[in-house]
Structure 1
Amino acid sequence: MSHDTAAPSTPVERLASLTAALATDLDQGAWLPGPLERALAGRLLLACAGDGQFTPDRLRETLWEGSVALAHTGGGRLARLLAELYEVTTSSVPYAVRHSVLSEAVRLLERTTAGIPARDGDGF
């Protein structure tokens, strides 16, 4: 029996897949966000604190702040997540459809900022 699955094709599907993969890697210690990644994740969360919304401008500023180093730090994982977030926030997908994946991305960024390598018994 084949378990082949199609690669995620929409921005929301790609962000959901990437967020889940990064969270798993963080849980298993395969991804240990460094100081730059933690600082940029924290900067983005702080920028969104007032209204809780990722915006293209906020994501662009965060990616710019990381510049070239972010593309190489940690294998570029956070840069890729931010790029996928940017694509989702600029897509025409209704907020209700993308809400859960954006919420998962927030939780992952919070863990990244805090440097939390693995979930404990209560889910974090």
Structure 2
Amino acid sequence: MSHDTDRLASLIADLGADLDQGVWVPGPLERTLAGRLLVACAGDGQFTPDRLRETLWEGNVALAYTAGGRLARLLTELHEVTAHSAPYAVRHPVLPEATRLLERTTEDIAA
């Protein structure tokens, strides 16, 4: 794994553990943006630099400060991994873990 992928894997593990322990409780903005990203990726299952950039843009400045910017950092790390993969469609083993974490992040969204 590359340095970017190692950093992403560590962040996913840390956020997952904090979510399990209730240390990180995603707020409405984080849940909504994670849900939008998952919907955008539903067709092909791929995080792409464009999709991640659009999600970060939607969150604007508020996302960087919401819950210490944890989701913004995750999306930024995902962007780094996908932007430096040629092509990004080549799946890194850590990307399914990111998908599962984002799915867990959206669990409280009303249907």
Once the 2 structures are TM-superposed, how far is the Cα of residue 82 of structure 1 from its aligned partner?
0.0
1:50 maps to which residue?
Answer: 43
- Is residue 33–residue 115 contact of structure 1 (8 Å, CA) maintained in 2? no
- Is residue 41–residue 110 contact of structure 1 (8 Å, CA) maintained in 2? yes
The match for 2:85 among 92, 99, 114 is 92
The answer to whether structure 1 residue 82 and structure 2 residue 75 are counterparts is yes
Once the 2 structures are TM-superposed, how far is the Cα of residue 93 of structure 1 from its aligned partner?
6.5
**Alpha-carbon separation, structure 2, partners of 1:115 and 1:23:** 16
The match for 1:37 among 30, 33, 36 is 30
| Deviations 1:82-122 (CA, angstroms, capped at 9, x unpaired) | 000000001137725x1x20000000000001139xxxxxx
The match for 2:13 among 17, 20, 32 is 20
**Alpha-carbon separation, structure 2, partners of 1:90 and 1:110:** 22
Once the 2 structures are TM-superposed, how far is the Cα of residue 16 of structure 1 from its aligned partner?
0.2
**TM-score of the pair, normalised by structure 2:** 0.90
Q: State the aligned residue count.
A: 107
- Is residue 15–residue 101 contact of structure 1 (8 Å, CA) maintained in 2? yes
| Deviations 1:7-52 (CA, angstroms, capped at 9, x unpaired) | xx71100100000000000000000000000000000000000000
Secondary structure of the structure 2 residue equivalent to 1:114 = coil
| Dislocated runs of 4+, deviation >3 Å | none
